[in-house]
Structure 1
Amino acid sequence: MASLNCSTAVCVICLEKPKYRCPACRVPYCSLTCFREHKEQCNPETHPVEKEIGSHLTAKTKKPVENTVTRKRTEFLCRI
């Protein structure tokens, strides 16, 4: 999970120093307990720009990520 850089950010539930951001709406939270409480009222529409950017990507521009570890393991198993 990405850590927060802004020193003025606070958890949306308990107002403590946050460590994480909600994957849907990007608001800061500090713990799993706070995230669960936030999730009940989460509104992904609070950051429509991120959603808009994702919608503009087409299947052609999205390249599959090749996992080299998985590929190497598969090659190794095929040689056995």
Structure 2
Amino acid sequence: MVNCTVCDQNTGKYKCPVCRAQYCSVPCCKKHKEENCKPNQITEKNETVETTTKESQKKPEFVTEDTVPNELLERLRESKKLKEMFKVSDLKKLLNYVDKSDNPYKDVQTAMRDPLFTEFVDECLKIVDPLQNQQDF
């Protein structure tokens, strides 16, 4: 568990959408936004890493066969269907649940039982691996 990056007293249950800093409450969130939040800063596990160039943001640190190229990630961001799906609060709850999970593998399996989550995953896969999806049908 990671402590709140603002008060350092409570567990950081929530993550800032801009820099991913963890905080524990609404007052800490407000204080973080007013004083500490920097869009070019990524905070994980109470360690701050400055991203200095766009080049460092483009290249993943560890590339595997499953690494998704940035151009495909951009397509996810631009997808109208995914944007519509994010308007459904239940999907947001499921994604937050998996994101905050201590056992994400198990919790993704659980979330896959929900048709909304499965539809979301299928739509993501259609965008990042369209050839594989055509072969499945």
Give me the TM-score of the superposition, normalised by structure 2.
Answer: 0.34
Query: Which of 4, 7, 12 in structure 2 is aligned with 1:14?
Result: 7
Q: 5+ residue gaps in structure 2?
A: 43-50, 59-67, 86-137
The ranges of structure 1 where at least 4 consecutive aligned residues each deviate by more than 6 angstroms after the TM superposition are none
Aligned positions of 1:36-51 closer than 5 A: 36-40=30-34, 41-47=36-42
Report the alpha carbon displacement of residue 12 of structure 1 after superposing the two structures with TM: 0.9
Task: Give the partner amino acid of 1:12.
Answer: T
Q: Distance in 2 between matches of 1:36 and 1:63?
A: 31
Report the alpha carbon displacement of residue 63 of structure 1 after superposing the two structures with TM: 4.7
SS at match of 1:23: coil
Give the number of the structure with larger relative contact order, counting CA–CA contacts within 8 Å between residues 6 or more apart: 1
Counterpart for residue 32 of structure 1 = 26
Q: 5+ residue gaps in structure 1?
A: 1-6, 68-80
Report the alpha carbon displacement of residue 58 of structure 1 after superposing the two structures with TM: 3.6
Q: Greater share of helix residues, 1 or 2?
A: 2
- Give CA deviations for 1:40-78 in whole Å, capped at 9, x if unaligned: 1211211359x759x74148x6251355xxxxxxxxxxx
| Higher-Rg member (1/2) | 1
